[in-house]
Each structure stands twice: as structure tokens, then as C-alpha cells.
Structure 1
Amino acid sequence: MDKTQPHPLFKLATELGPLLVFFFVNAKFNLFAATGAFMVAIAIALVASYVMTRHIPIMAIVTGVVVLVFGTLTLVLHDETFIKVKPTIIYGLFAAILGGGLLFGRSFIAVMFDQVFNLTPQGWRILTLRWALFFAGMAVLNEIVWRTQTTDFWVNFKVFGVTTVTMIFAIAQLPLTKRYHLEPVSLERSETEAGDVSKG
């Protein structure tokens, strides 16, 4: 099934919307109310994405599942630890997927980010390694923040700090993607070899 390319503003709304809901509900009430609202917002964002594009990015699916599972544990057990450790689990999974893929000569960056890249094998390796290390670092950083800071500080860090750092890191990768950009000989070949880092 062909997927419809979403409008940039729609994509931004589905990605940042749930985080803003989480932030405002926590500020108004508490972390448990924010967790429930976050779960609902994530579910709505996933449904809206599918309705509008007939497609849900892999990253969004993985994030949504982990949010629903750990959010449910947080509410049922009334223990905020679960929602706080959720980002660590997600970042750890992404780092493991990317790092594991490299061990088998594959890059899952294009699949994970739901974007099309045409890079040389060396470009794939470098980009994948950078994102794997970034996610691993974010997992460690989340653990440090939630274990040493207040809940409100952690929420601010999650909503604004992580978003800002991720955007800066992503933008910083643009020179690399341009440097190792490769014009495909054909669309079929490009799709076949996308993410293959075993060559070169």
C-alpha cells in the first residue's frame, strides 16, 4: 500500500503534540495524570498518522508500544519509576537495533526514521554509528537525570531538553549525508541496496 507523505506541520504535531500534553498536564496536576494523558495523546497521534498517511513509522510504533506498556505499569502500580525509565528503554532499544544491524552489515537508519537516504556504504556506517552512540548516550543521560533530579525537572528535560538536543544532533548530521550522498543508478537498485554497509 502506498503511503502518503505527511505535511511537515502534521508530522511535527503528531511528534511534539503528545509531549506538550504531557508537560502541561503534569504542570497542572501531577505525573500520574500526565502519564494517562500522554498515553491517550500517543494513541491519538498514531491513529491520526495512519488515517492521514495509511502508514505509521517504525519509530513511532516502537515508542507508542513502550509508552503504553510502561504508562500502564505506572498507573496500575502507582509508581512513577516506570514512566521515568521508559525513555531509557526506548533509547536502549534504538541503540541496540542500530548497533546490532552494523554487526550484520546493515543500517536500519532509513527504516527507523522513515526517510529515504542514498549514501555510500561508508556514509551508512558512519551515520548509523553516530545515531547508535547518540541513543546510547541519551539512555545514560535519562538515567542520570531522573535518578538525581526532581520530577518536574525531569519532565522539562524530557519535553524540551531531549527535543532540542535531538534536533541539534540531527541537523549536525546534514553535512555527512551531503558528503556521502550517492545518486542511485536506478530506483530499484537504490531500494535494494538501501542501508547495505557491507560493501566498500
Structure 2
Amino acid sequence: MAEKRKINAGLKLALELGPIVAFFVAYVRLRDRTFTIAGTEYEGFVLATAGFIPLLLITTAILWVLTRHVSKMQIATAVLVVVFGGLTVWLNDERFFKMKPTAIYTLFAAVLGVGLLRGKSYLQYVLDEAVPLERAGWMILTRRLMLFFVGLAVLNEVIWRTMSTDMWVNFKTFGLTVAIFAFFMAQGRLFKRYGLEDGKRDG
């Protein structure tokens, strides 16, 4: 098994968020245009989606080459992007790509829920090195994150079904990122109470 390698945090963030930002830029530039390819008309949203899929796969591959590690969450996300993004392009129907965040967050919530039912925190396996916590802290954080993912899945369904594509793209690009950041910032008291220093609490 290859040993994990550390890379610059800025580079890692750029590789993880780059495809999302590129999708947003492509959508803004192409949203009012229609393209005819092989006799079929495609809206700008579909073409932006078509570009997002390989870009995400490329940046994920680069992350693996540089770090020799890709999390299960990143792999699951890439698979769902290929499936739902591919359906969007193949069927020329933007609804499939809009459903993708719902599928991703529902899957994550289900996985965390199964772990909780087994008395385990699967989240700990993913973040333990970055956020060392006592077991009780991991269980609380996992329960909160599971409910948070359920909320995001429901919110995504409401937005894409009732609002404009522009609103959904803004929500996907900025809203989800800000919401996840805000969620972890809001866990400050939990991190302080259950956090471990140097992986081990004194006493």
C-alpha cells in the first residue's frame, strides 16, 4: 500500500474546488447560448456539465498521483458525477446533473447512519488525522453531519425543482461550499470539548 504524501494546502484546495469554479465560469459564459452538435441542440448548461466531468476526473487523478491517497468520499463523488453528468449529456436533460448533489448527500448520510447504527463513526476513519477527537466527540459530530447531509439533500431538491437554473448553479457553487464551511465552524465548542492534543488527552 502506497504511503500518503502531503502537498501544499493551497494546491490541494485548488484541485478540489477548481472543477466547481470552472463549471460555474463555463455556465455563466454559455448559459444563454445553444450549440448544435451532430444535429442535436445542446444548451450551455449541458456543455458546461460535459466539461466538468473529465476535469473532475483529471484533478482527482492528480491528487492521487501527488498524495497517493483519495478518500472514499472523493471516489463516490467522482462516480456519481460520471453517472449523473453522463446521463445529462447523453439524454440532453439537465435534471440529472441537478439531482447529483441530492444523490451524493443522501449516500453520505446513509453511510454515516449505518455506521452509527453499528456504534461506529465512519467519519473518524476519514478525518481522524486532521481532527483528533475523543470517541464521544466523533459520535456526536457524525450524528450532526448525517442530519446536515439530509438537510442539504432536501434543500437541493427544493431549489432545483422550484427555482431557476441560475439560482441552482449559485447554490451548488457557493451555497453548498459556504454551508459546509459554516457547519464545521459551528462545531467549535465540540472540537474544544472533545479535542485531543497530540492525539492523546492528558490525565
Which bin holds the TM-score, normalised by the shorter protein? 0.7 to 0.9
TM-score, normalised relative to structure 1:
0.87
Which of 166, 172, 177 is residue 191 of structure 2 equivalent to?
177
Residues 126-154 of structure 1, C-alpha deviations (whole Å, 9 max, x = no match): 10001001100000000000001111110
Contact kept, 8 Å, 1:58 with 1:113, in 2: the verdict is no
Mapped pair 1:20 → 2:15: no
Mapped pair 1:95 → 2:96: no
Residues 105-133 of structure 1, C-alpha deviations (whole Å, 9 max, x = no match): 11011334474443222211110001001
Question: Across the two proteins, how many residue pairs are aligned to each other?
Answer: 186
Residues 148-168 of structure 1, C-alpha deviations (whole Å, 9 max, x = no match): 111111001100111111111
- Partner SS state of residue 87, structure 2: helix
User: 1:149 corresponds to which residue?
Assistant: 163
User: 2:8 corresponds to which residue?
Assistant: 7
Which of 72, 76, 85 is residue 90 of structure 2 equivalent to?
76
Contact kept, 8 Å, 1:87 with 1:142, in 2: the verdict is yes
Q: Distance in 2 between matches of 1:58 and 1:129?
A: 19
Q: Distance in 2 between matches of 1:33 and 1:40?
A: 12
Tell which deviates more after alignment, 84-93 or 55-64. 55-64
- Provide structure 2 residue ranges, at least 5 long, that are not aligned to the other structure: 31-43
User: 1:165 corresponds to which residue?
Assistant: 179
Alignment root-mean-square deviation, CA: 1.7
User: 2:99 corresponds to which residue?
Assistant: 85
Q: Distance in 1 between matches of 2:129 and 2:59?
A: 19
TM-score, normalised relative to structure 2:
0.86
Contact kept, 8 Å, 1:59 with 1:113, in 2: the verdict is no
Could you say if the C-alpha distance between residues 113 and 64 of structure 1 is closer, same or farther in structure 2, counting changes exceeding 3 Å? farther
The letter of the residue matching 1:83 is F
Q: Distance in 1 between matches of 2:195 and 2:142?
A: 14
Q: Distance in 1 between matches of 2:168 and 2:12?
A: 25
Q: Distance in 1 between matches of 2:128 and 2:75?
A: 12
Q: Distance in 2 between matches of 1:83 and 1:113?
A: 28
- Provide structure 1 residue ranges, at least 5 long, that are not aligned to the other structure: 187-200
The letter of the residue matching 1:128 is T
Residues 2-49 of structure 1, C-alpha deviations (whole Å, 9 max, x = no match): 101221111211121011111011111111011011102101111110
Identity, % of aligned pairs? 47
Larger Rg: 2
Could you say if the C-alpha distance between residues 157 and 185 of structure 1 is closer, same or farther in structure 2, counting changes exceeding 3 Å? closer
The letter of the residue matching 1:170 is F
User: 2:120 corresponds to which residue?
Assistant: 106
Q: Distance in 2 between matches of 1:155 and 1:36?
A: 15
Greater RCO (CA < 8 Å, at least 6 residues apart): 1
Which of 125, 133, 145 is residue 119 of structure 1 equivalent to?
133
Could you say if the C-alpha distance between residues 80 and 112 of structure 1 is closer, same or farther in structure 2, counting changes exceeding 3 Å? farther
Q: Distance in 1 between matches of 2:58 and 2:193?
A: 38
